[in-house]
Structure 1
């Protein structure tokens, strides 16, 4: 799509803020009003629109995409989205440990176990851990505790949390980033621990490097987006 406006700005709206393209309010892909909870978030999205050149490139507007997802997809099916997020806790990456080699086993325990301990203390969610790849069934009590911690957040935060969770492959890591227990960069390191370990042993390849770089960008953007939505 070609750029059809001269400038983006922000304005107050009933219940929040909006982004204006030549004084016309931006709407989501589903044509819903893009009502935002804070002025700073609106300013960030307006800057994404202003950064567009001759053609509008949606992939270059991560905050706009996450906000639209929250409004168009999370709001109308909030309970279903929460269950999708919680499902990652039922098969969380950090609960599946290697059996060997010893240095990988030690690295996983050192990196992941403190997050599980924090999750238990913060949410009351006691997640079991196993070695190997056989499926592990988490208790309903643990999943209910995670669900309760997630359900308190607004729809835009849930949009960011969903992206963190699916990107990391771990609800525990995603919640650790959301709650400020670790930075997004550390979350990326923990989520890719096994892959980085193998790269250290056998060498790197450009496809894996590019994939990790793209993931790092997405996770960092999602974490930043969440900070603007918690108002």
Structure 2
């Protein structure tokens, strides 16, 4: 046996589906058929278009059910965890998954897990009478997410490879998007307060001052959108001690 050599062949990439639902996976920019990944299974994955540069090989995924849009592109070769927001364009349902990439020997394991029962990376609270719409800057897919007055929305980036900047607009009427007022472009990992933006009510001599603040709530970064009466630290309802936490608890309920 001294002259025997053992050659072990291992796949370069192994996709593992621990999300609790069947998935479809495809290479970004390729017309090759999708790879089906049943819940609880794993499959060796080979790039259909091997001619693409190694640093330009990206994956997209979606639940293998009617109406779900493709996720943003992600780089499986980058170690660590990536949050993805997935959206159904028919039912308007949302779900979040975490994609973990790790090296085990010669194989890159790409594990997809459901993140619905974990604290989200971001949460947006709309504590105004206005309708708020949010969308990642330069996101290629999907419409803006609408947040009704006095509602909250758990958020993750739609396009993890695009700049982590959230574009936030507000409008008085739910069905009139062309009257939206830009509140700003925000980096949700920067904890700070922003100057107010004045939103004009169409057809009326009425305006609303809207304040935006980014806070930390454990592992979650919270974007608070408030009007003048509830602006944190300005003598409003959210400025008093304990009022912010109780208001947010009622909002989540």
The answer, yes or no, to whether TM exceeds 0.5 is no
Which of the pair has more CA radius of gyration?
A: 2
Q: Which protein is richer in helix relative to its size? A: 1
For normalisation by structure 1, the TM-score amounts to: 0.30
Give TM-score scaled by structure 2 length: 0.28
Higher strand share: 2
Which structure has more relative contact order (CA 8 Å, sep 6+)? It is 1
